[in-house]
Amino acid sequence: MGNRTALFSRKQSGGVFTIDDIKEHPGDIFFVDSGHSAASDTAGFGKDPDSPFATIDYAVSQCTASQGDVIYAMPGHAETLAAAGDLDLDKIGLSLIGLGHGTLQPTVTAGTIDSVDIDIDAASVTIENIHFVSAIDDIVALIDVNATDFTIRNCRFTQSAADKNPLICIQDAAAAGSDRMIIEGCKADLYDTAGTHFVNFAGTGTGHIVRDNILLGDWGTMAIGGAGVVTRATIIDNVIYNVASDNDSCISFAATATGICMRNLAGGGAAQANGITATAMALAQNFYVDAAADVNAILEPVAT
């Protein structure tokens, strides 16, 4: 057998010649850059970073389902959504990846009306390294997940001003069968009142994973959890501070929800007994501290 490599040469029609890695780019590649003088939501654009598309939703419309297409949002890309479904990731296997960090992290701002949202309407969609900004109060659900195997990784959630906290940042829709959601490495800074959940598991999905997130905010119901009876969930290594002061939880699941809830560090204004509630899950090394100053966290639930 001769020598083999995962690298291959590719020349997209209208795009640049590249040497690529089949594992990273099995399908087409598109570029979005609102700040580029040549950006245009026009067929024939988007295949070259020097002639990119202007919006992510238009780039999605040019993708083909089930072939692993990737959309790159270039450093400094910014766009504002003004209506429900203004951004609909509805192609199976699509990845949206932001390039750039800090002030150059691509930004998607939700504003105008509280029904504005980002819909996940196809299976196996991935979002990485996007900064989501809430610019209107009481957004019902910023990211509405209606399909299986959704992954969101290394994204940031903030608000543009006081009282602009979305009610829910990420929602597993109740009747959608959105199994195996992965939420990892995300950061939330949402201190102002109005929120109810960072992640709301309203449905009965199975195999969800929520890990390695840092969540600082004011969530009036819980930061992670919901009323849905999820099964085989993994909630692990999250750091949560919920400033809500009316006995609201950091982690709370339905009494019959199953899975593991381990090594989470949580705190806030809630009474200690309500910090982490996962009655039917396997629990280990979860710690919670209430708002009292100069005290250490204790095991939550307390050891029996």
Domain spans of the chain? 1-195, 204-304
Give the per-residue pLDDT at 114. 82
Query: pLDDT tier at 304 (50, 70, 90 boundaries)?
Result: low
Asked if pLDDT for residue 282 goes beyond 50, the answer is: yes
Burial 90-120 (b: 16+ CB within 10 A, else e): bbbbbbbbbbbeeeebbbbbbbeebebbbbb
CA dist., res. 192 & res. 262, Å (int): 28
Residue 7 has pLDDT above 70, yes or no: no
pTM (2 d.p.): 0.90
pLDDT in tens, 213-239: 999 998 888 899 999 999 999 999 999
Residue 46: pLDDT above 60? yes
> Helix, strand or coil for residue 226?
strand
